[in-house]
Copies of this chain bind each other. A is one copy, B any other.
Amino acid sequence: MAREMIRHGGRSARIQNEVHAATRALLEVTDRSELTVPMIAERAGVPPSTIYRRWGDLSQLLADVAVERLRPIADPDDTGATMGDLEAFVVQYAEEMSSAVGRRLLRDVLADAENETSATKCCRFTYDHLEVIAGRAVARGEPGIDIGLVIDRVIAPIVYHILFRDRDVEPDYCRQLLATVEVGGLRTAA
């Protein structure tokens, strides 16, 4: 039987939690550039070799931790109206991602050269959130939103400016971006 056999429970899971927790805790007080695997291992109470075997190297571990932190814990706020939902989501997204912590998470996710699935997962989170908002719109009988258009017009510029630090992404700017998908009643993508 060629079954996959990947362990999820018990010790394995406990170790994953402890390593993740140790990483998060150390990132609070340590610069990313002086964070090391042995440091995390000691704090988590495991030997370094366990971390190397399981995650490969520091950047992959950081990417894994970052993805977990970026994973949404709840659906976007329901404001009762599609544009309200969008605005609430986008403004909060920009605020979180442009913070020092958020920026680091974004970079950790992108830095991980192997396992490009980190980046894919992370952008999936955004897509899923927008899909929930789109679903609500339909349920309410409002015109649906074009998710691809929102990503291109709103999310992408925000992420670009955060990554390249060439301008702030304050709420007003986010609303300006959003306004461009609103014209003509959330029209379909070009």
Contact = CB atoms under 8 A, between A and B. Distances in A.
Interface of A: 31-33, 57, 59, 104, 107, 110-111, 113-114, 116, 119-120, 122-124, 127, 151-153, 155-157, 159-161, 163-166, 176-177, 179-180, 190
The 9 closest A-B pairs by CB, nearest first: A156-B160, A123-B164, A152-B157, A111-B111, A156-B157, A156-B156, A119-B164, A32-B113, A176-B190
Nearest to A153: B153
Contact of A114 (B33, B116, B160): B33
B120 A111 contact: no
Given A33-B57, A122-B164, A151-B160, 6 more contacts: A33-B113, A110-B163, A120-B166, A152-B153, A156-B159, A156-B160
Nearest to A122: B164
A120 B165 contact: yes
Contact of A165 (B57, B116, B127, B156): B116
10 contacts: A31-B113, A33-B114, A59-B111, A110-B163, A119-B163, A120-B166, A152-B177, A156-B156, A156-B160, A180-B190
Contacts of A31: 113
Contacts of A180: 190
A123 B160 CA distance: 9
Nearest to A127: B166
Contacts of A32: 113
Contacts of A114: 33
A109 to B, nearest CB: 9
